[in-house]
Chain A
Amino acid sequence: MNDVGVVETQYLLLSDMGVHEITLESGAKIGPITVAYETYGTLNETRSNAILICHALSGDAHAAGYHKEIGHKPGWWNDAIGPGKAFDTDRYFVVCSNVLGGCQGTTGPSSINPRTGKPYALSFPVITIGDMVQVQWYLMKHLGIEKWLSVAGGSMGGMQALEWALRYPENVYSAMVIASTGRLSPQSIAFNAVGRNAIISDPNWQNGEYYGKAIPEKGLSIARMIGHITYLSEISMEKKFGRKLQNKKEFSFDFSTEFAVESYLHHQGQKFVERFDANTYLYVTKAMDYFDVAAKYGQGSLKKAMQKISSRMFLLSFSSDWLFPPSQTQELVDALIANHKDVTFYNIDSSYGHDAFLLEVEKETSLIQRFLQSSSKLWQEDRYEAA
């Protein structure tokens, strides 16, 4: 398979653009801000082939290709980004950045607060999806792009794509909202709350002041285990693990890790602790909980909120996703239809649950490629007519 090859994360200091601090939706101000990002492919002369990829909760700027220093671990959406892939880097200039509040290069609670010389920890202001998008807007300007051909993302990334289309309609020709929603259900908020509770109940959490000390490993790994349960589906768990025991043939009649599914969750929790900051988990899940486009843009009415959309909209859901179920995407679609917007919606039949957006690459590719190509063509026609 073709890949974009070896890539390097780059860093933008907003202060270099003269932006020393930004005002957040909460009213709080924060700065200086560093943004970690990667790019793949080449920006064309008319700057009309740029695509912003937005990552989900635990993602980072490394969306495709390989980093030299960490062996050969591919980017988180390597299956979808590259030559000939869904986001074809032979045609498009693809950008991905780590979100504000993140812990993989962009300013977040684990970053050093220059005023104190210590990590922000809980002195970092509470952020929203809109704040993340605002920071990405500066990155866009820095890259010399006026309008994205598309802003695309799955899960929390889909929320950012939707926010982009609402917040900066003039900068977004099309938006792809994949396995996502206009607002979390109380059920999803509940799962996030349990995850946060696991972290803050860990004795090592110390009100967030654990940097340089023992980290709240148990809490964070439990939060990740809960997350993983919500990413799978009943069928996918049955297929993947069944009731198989991991290392033995008989029950040991104690509380050790016995079932294959238990072992999987443990492993995922453990892996996560090695690369993710517990405080970022708190901030980012809270940002997702607050996200509500109907409230923010439509005074409670989704239909009214969708009036503001001028981008071509592409929405994808997955039949077995119960975290961000197809019905939530359908609500967005209905609101877009009611406003006679340019909307395309497909519900992919999949047993993978929420994780499907990372796994059903083949089906996504045929849809995404066609949508991007027609968007690219329509945009050129629009420009031609306008000229």
Chain B
Amino acid sequence: MRRLEEALGMRVDLGVMADWIAQGSKVLDLGCGRGELLSYLIHHKQVRGIGVEIDEESFLACVEKGIPVIQRDINLSLKDVEDQSFDYVIISQTVQQLQRPDLLILESLRIGRYVIVSFPNFGHYRIRLNLLFSGRMPKSKALPYEWYNTPNIHLMTIKDFQDFCHRYQITVHQWYYFWQTRGGKWLLLPNWFASGCLALISRRDEYEKKA
């Protein structure tokens, strides 16, 4: 979560994701960082969790915490992970850094019953104004890089993500928007004012089967 906090430049309650994740469920955290979220879930919600992380230092931090963790580049295929073998797959603050976010999200929906995606909103008004007035690629606390060295290669807005979900028959069950130092479900014009968001999604057919 600290990564999320740092990336979004605001305080984020660990409880948001933790609230969405049911007690005792099976969780795969793609790009789990230093394992803070998994550590919380394992110790407080009896979750059977596993993280995937490529960064060596973050990986070591997970091992130190006793978090099960696999060193792997999530840009690579997850084809060896079985269909619907997890209750939740988490893609936290990594979508925008993936070579093919579409493939990873769809693959995650195959592996997990639910997927939780969090990402910075490129539609935020400051970013819009930034580009409009400076004529240069916007930089912010969430996006502090130059255009040439940024790891964020697939930036998107909340609207873009909604379109994506629509196109691929993905149901969004919950939204959570970040706005300045606060967050919440309800926010006026989130695509303008949310600096980032969390979405709980599943395949529409899966959802309908259960409903």
Q: Which residues in A have some Cβ–Cβ distance to B below 8 Å?
A: 312, 330, 333-334, 337-338, 340-347, 366-367, 370-371, 373-375, 377-378
User: In whole angstroms, what is the CA distance A377 to B69 when docked?
Assistant: 17
CB pair A345–B80 under 8 Å, yes or no, is no
- A370-B50 contact in complex given A344-B69, A375-B66, C-beta closer than 8 Å: no
User: In whole angstroms, what is the CA distance A370 to B61 when docked?
Assistant: 9
**What are some 23 contacts across the A-B interface (CB < 8 A)?**
A312-B68, A330-B80, A333-B70, A337-B70, A338-B81, A338-B85, A340-B26, A342-B68, A344-B62, A344-B68, A344-B69, A345-B69, A345-B71, A347-B71, A370-B60, A371-B63, A373-B64, A374-B63, A374-B64, A374-B66, A375-B66, A377-B66, A378-B66
CB-CB contacts below 8 Å: B69-88 with A:
69-72, 80-82, 85
Task: Please indicate the chain A residues that have their CB under 8 angstroms from the CB of B70 in the complex.
Answer: 333, 337, 343-345
Excluding A343-B50, A345-B69, A345-B71, 9 further A-B contacts by CB distance (< 8 Å) are A340-B48, A342-B68, A343-B68, A343-B70, A344-B62, A344-B70, A346-B71, A347-B71, A374-B64
B59 on the interface (CB 8 Å rule)? Answer: yes
Task: Please indicate the chain A residues that have their CB under 8 angstroms from the CB of B85 in the complex.
Answer: 337-338
CB pair A366–B60 under 8 Å, yes or no, is yes
Shortest CB distance B36–A (Å): 15
B side interface size, CB within 8 A: 19
> In the complex, what residue of chain A is closest to B85 when comparing beta carbons?
A338
CB pair B66–A346 under 8 Å, yes or no, is no
Interface string of B16-60 (1 = CB under 8 A from A): 000000000010000000000000000000001010000000011
Task: Please indicate the chain B residues that have their CB under 8 angstroms from the CB of A378 in the complex.
Answer: 66
B128 on the interface (CB 8 Å rule)? Answer: no
> In the complex, what residue of chain A is closest to B80 when comparing beta carbons?
A334
Task: Please indicate the chain A residues that have their CB under 8 angstroms from the CB of B81 in the complex.
Answer: 334, 337-338
Q: Which residues in B have some Cβ–Cβ distance to A below 8 Å?
A: 26, 48, 50, 59-60, 62-66, 68-72, 80-82, 85
Task: Please indicate the chain B residues that have their CB under 8 angstroms from the CB of A340 in the complex.
Answer: 26, 48, 50
Shortest CB distance B88–A (Å): 13
Task: Please indicate the chain A residues that have their CB under 8 angstroms from the CB of B68 in the complex.
Answer: 312, 341-344
Which of A338, A347, A370 has its CB near the most chain B CB atoms (within 10 A)? Answer: A370
| 3 residue pairs, one from A and one from B, having the closest CB atoms | A374-B66, A370-B63, A334-B80
User: In whole angstroms, what is the CA distance A127 to B70 when docked?
Assistant: 34
User: In whole angstroms, what is the CA distance A377 to B26 when docked?
Assistant: 23
Task: Please indicate the chain A residues that have their CB under 8 angstroms from the CB of B80 in the complex.
Answer: 330, 334
Shortest CB distance B70–A (Å): 5
Task: Please indicate the chain A residues that have their CB under 8 angstroms from the CB of B26 in the complex.
Answer: 340
User: In whole angstroms, what is the CA distance A343 to B71 when docked?
Assistant: 11
User: In whole angstroms, what is the CA distance A187 to B26 when docked?
Assistant: 37
User: In whole angstroms, what is the CA distance A147 to B12 when docked?
Assistant: 42
Shortest CB distance A232–B (Å): 24
CB pair A367–B63 under 8 Å, yes or no, is yes
Task: Please indicate the chain A residues that have their CB under 8 angstroms from the CB of B63 in the complex.
Answer: 344, 367, 370-371, 374
Shortest CB distance B189–A (Å): 41
User: In whole angstroms, what is the CA distance A55 to B13 when docked?
Assistant: 48
User: In whole angstroms, what is the CA distance A340 to B112 when docked?
Assistant: 13
User: In whole angstroms, what is the CA distance A367 to B80 when docked?
Assistant: 25
User: In whole angstroms, what is the CA distance A333 to B50 when docked?
Assistant: 12
Which of A341, A344, A367, A370 has its CB near the most chain B CB atoms (within 10 A)? Answer: A344
User: In whole angstroms, what is the CA distance A373 to B85 when docked?
Assistant: 30
User: In whole angstroms, what is the CA distance A283 to B210 when docked?
Assistant: 56
> In the complex, what residue of chain B is closest to A338 when comparing beta carbons?
B82
User: In whole angstroms, what is the CA distance A155 to B90 when docked?
Assistant: 34
User: In whole angstroms, what is the CA distance A32 to B134 when docked?
Assistant: 85
Shortest CB distance B77–A (Å): 12
Shortest CB distance B116–A (Å): 18
User: In whole angstroms, what is the CA distance A337 to B48 when docked?
Assistant: 10
User: In whole angstroms, what is the CA distance A312 to B63 when docked?
Assistant: 12
User: In whole angstroms, what is the CA distance A349 to B94 when docked?
Assistant: 23
User: In whole angstroms, what is the CA distance A366 to B62 when docked?
Assistant: 12
> In the complex, what residue of chain B is closest to A371 when comparing beta carbons?
B63
Task: Please indicate the chain A residues that have their CB under 8 angstroms from the CB of B69 in the complex.
Answer: 344-345
Task: Please indicate the chain B residues that have their CB under 8 angstroms from the CB of A337 in the complex.
Answer: 50, 70, 81, 85
- A374-B65 contact in complex given A340-B48, A343-B70, C-beta closer than 8 Å: yes
Which of B63, B64, B72 has its CB near the most chain A CB atoms (within 10 A)? Answer: B63
User: In whole angstroms, what is the CA distance A334 to B77 when docked?
Assistant: 13
> In the complex, what residue of chain B is closest to A303 when comparing beta carbons?
B82
